[in-house]
Structure formats: C-alpha cells, structure tokens
Amino acid sequence: MAGGEPPRISINLGAQSLRESRFADQVAAADLPRGALAFEIVDAPDEPARWSLDLLEDLGVELEIDDFGAGPASVATLIALRPKRVKIDRRFVAPLLDGPKREAVVRGIVDLARSLEVEVVAQGVETPQDGARMAEMGVAVLQGHAYAAPMSWRALGDLPALAGGLVDPEPHAGYRRASQ
C-alpha cells in the first residue's frame, strides 16, 4: 500500500487458540509489520493463554477487549491484559440516546479506559447522531453501519493478505476515527 502504514486487521480470537502451543510461532512466521494485526479478546485468558499473549505483544500484535460491558471480560481483565483498545459493546452504544443511565455507563467505561491509557472503540454506531455523541464523550474510534456496512473478504481487496493466512478472520469494516 503506497504512501503510509498498512491498515490494521482485527481478528476475533478465543482463549482456545491462544492455548495452542505453536500459535505465536505461526503469527511470527507471517512476518507482519508491527501494529498491522490486532486480536480481539472476549474472554479472560488463563495462564497458558496469557503466555501466548505476552509473546504476541512482543511481536507487535495489538490486543483489544471486545464486547466490553456485555461480554465476559471484566475490569480485572482490562487491568491484567493491558490492551491497546477496549471496544464498547453495541448494546450500550446504539440506544445511548435513550437515557442518562446508558450514557453514564459509557462515560464510566471511557473514563476508566482513559485512566489506563487504553483507546476506546464504540461498536454498533448506527447513526451520525450516535457517532457525534460518542465522539463528544471522548471515544477515539467509531465502528458501525453509520460509516460502512459489513463486507466480505473479497470486497476488502488486498487487505486480507495482511493477515498472512493465519486464520479465517471476520473483517471489521465500518471503522472511522472519531476525529475525522
């Protein structure tokens, strides 16, 4: 890709994959640029999985906690994993304008993430109004139909090659930097 950094590919990854003894070796063999690959973790990793995560971080793979606020990952997981990003679950984002309680939860997640120097992604941004509200609260990245519909690997063109054939990832189109 001429003229800049390659885009980041984010891949959902379960703890079972992290327990595979050669998983980190397979990632290393792909020889991807630092920051080109991120793994979205949903569940809290056990000790063998944590060892793999440490190796992946050494390789420049970024970690993200997916579905935060509604998934199994807890605040303790957020602190233990030291992720690059936390992704607020869409169940908090889409109905945000419905009331102050949901907004308070999102603000709390944003404030917590900021205090830990973790970037925040809002999933499920369906309208420009939701996106504007998220950006006002300090969310760094917006993801959802307001910016792009999900698309197939084929529609992404050459981007899947960046994943190095590691897994059959589900692409995450529809990202937008909140500052754009």
pLDDT at 152: 66
Q: Count up the domains in the chain and report the number.
A: 1
For residue 12, what are its two tokens?
């959902």
- Domain hosting 50: range is 9-177
Confidence of residue 32 (pLDDT cuts 50, 70, 90): confident
Q: Is residue 98 part of a domain?
A: yes
The predicted model gives 57-66 an average pLDDT of: 93
Confidence of residue 8 (pLDDT cuts 50, 70, 90): confident
pLDDT at 2: 47
pLDDT at 92: 84
CA distance 86 to 104: 17
Q: Is residue 119 part of a domain?
A: yes
Confidence of residue 88 (pLDDT cuts 50, 70, 90): very high
CATH code, 16:
3.20.20.450
Q: Is residue 100 part of a domain?
A: yes
Q: Is residue 4 part of a domain?
A: no
Q: Is residue 108 part of a domain?
A: yes
Is 80 exceeded by the pLDDT of residue 41? Answer: yes
